[in-house]
């Protein structure tokens, strides 16, 4: 038995959503920009012949791992397997969505993290928001994405950005705050401006931590892009979603293997570059 009447929370949220939707052009610009990015990244990747793409990514892995053979061999064989199974175009589309989502997450996440590092008040305000973003079930992000942007690739990217951004913000803030106070005092003693101190001292020293956040954002973006197949975001996630609906264990396993290979390649290459930068 409820002692108090139910709070009209759902009605309030619906009212806010309807008000936002009534503002002409509010969501047109981000929809157009994100749609443009996804389309042209996909077109650019598709224009590269399969054999050349495999060789280029293998060479990238070779360079990232400082000429160690383990990861390049895995990249070569993994991409060859994806092409052989017939999931090449779906893999490229998923990669386009991940690159767009991760890129937007970094574009906004790093400045927000810097802002948090510079202001304790900002950190106190944004931290609960990040907690909310990270603890909210991933499927819930699909609802506002569909409400404001409809069905398709763009709402999938929007949901992925919201889901993937917190690690970049948190680790950028952490990395800058962990910079040695002695270095900060030395830069102040030499008369550095706040911008010079940020660009020449704090960001280089925090680079390894920031890159760890970028790596996590890429992985979260990939996982969310798969979930976003439920609202029309095409790619490997769609193949998995269809396989579940048809109870197709074999097809689902093939698409899942392609996703695992792509995830490992993205994770290992970004981690290798991070270790390389850190060692340097």
Domain boundaries, the chain: 27-274
Q: Which of 38, 259, 255 is nearest to 160 (CA)?
A: 38
Write down the CATH number for the domain with range 27-274. Answer: 1.10.3720.10
Q: Do 229 and 240 touch, CB atoms closer than 8 A?
A: yes
The average pLDDT across 221-239 equals: 85
Residue 55 pLDDT class (50, 70, 90 cuts): very high
User: Does the pLDDT at position 77 exceed 80?
Assistant: yes
Sign of CA dihedral 118, 124, 125, 127: positive
Place of tokens 């925090």: 206
Confidence label for 2 from pLDDT (cuts 50, 70 and 90): low
10 Å Cβ neighbour count for 254?
A: 20
* Least confident window among 46-50, 126-130, 177-181: 177-181
- Sequence-distant (≥ 6) Cβ neighbours of residue 255 within 8 angstroms: 87, 90, 236, 239, 240, 243
- Predicted confidence at residue 280, as pLDDT, reads 41
User: Would the pLDDT of 7 be above 90?
Assistant: no
The pair of three-digit structure tokens given for residue 139, joined into one six-digit string: 């499927």
Residue 270 and residue 204 in contact, taking contact as beta carbons nearer than 8 Å:
no
pLDDT band at 1 (very low <50, low <70, confident <90, very high): low
Overall average pLDDT of the 12-32 stretch = 83
Q: Are 175 and 110 in contact (CB under 8 A)?
A: no
């Amino acid at each position: 038995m409820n002692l108090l009447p139910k709070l009209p929370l759902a009605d309030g949220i619906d009212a806010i959503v309807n008000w936002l939707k009534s503002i002409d052009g509010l969501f047109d610009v981000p929809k157009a920009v994100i749609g443009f990015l996804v389309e042209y990244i996909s077109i650019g990747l598709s224009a590269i012949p399969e054999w050349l793409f495999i060789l280029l990514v293998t060479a990238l892995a070779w360079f990232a791992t400082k000429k160690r053979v383990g990861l390049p061999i895995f990249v070569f064989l993994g991409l060859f397997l994806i092409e052989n199974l017939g999931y090449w175009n779906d893999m490229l589309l998923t990669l386009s969505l991940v690159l767009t989502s991760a890129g937007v997450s970094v574009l906004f996440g790093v400045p927000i993290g810097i802002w948090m590092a510079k202001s304790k008040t900002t950190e106190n305000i944004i931290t609960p928001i990040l907690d909310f973003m990270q603890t909210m079930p991933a499927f819930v992000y699909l609802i506002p994405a569909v409400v404001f942007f409809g069905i398709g690739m763009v709402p999938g990217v929007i949901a992925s950005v919201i889901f993937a951004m917190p690690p970049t913000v948190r680790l950028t803030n952490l990395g800058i705050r962990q910079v040695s106070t002695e270095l900060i005092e030395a830069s102040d003693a030499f008369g550095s401006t706040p911008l010079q101190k940020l660009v020449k001292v704090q960001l280089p020293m925090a680079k390894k931590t920031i890159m760890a956040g970028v790596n996590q954002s890429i992985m979260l973006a990939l996982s969310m892009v798969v979930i976003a197949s439920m609202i029309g975001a095409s790619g490997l996630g769609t193949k998995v979603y269809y396989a579940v609906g048809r109870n197709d264990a074999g097809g689902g396993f093939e698409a899942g293997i392609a996703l695992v290979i792509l995830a490992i390649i993205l994770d290992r290459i970004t981690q290798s570059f991070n270790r390389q930068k850190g060692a340097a």
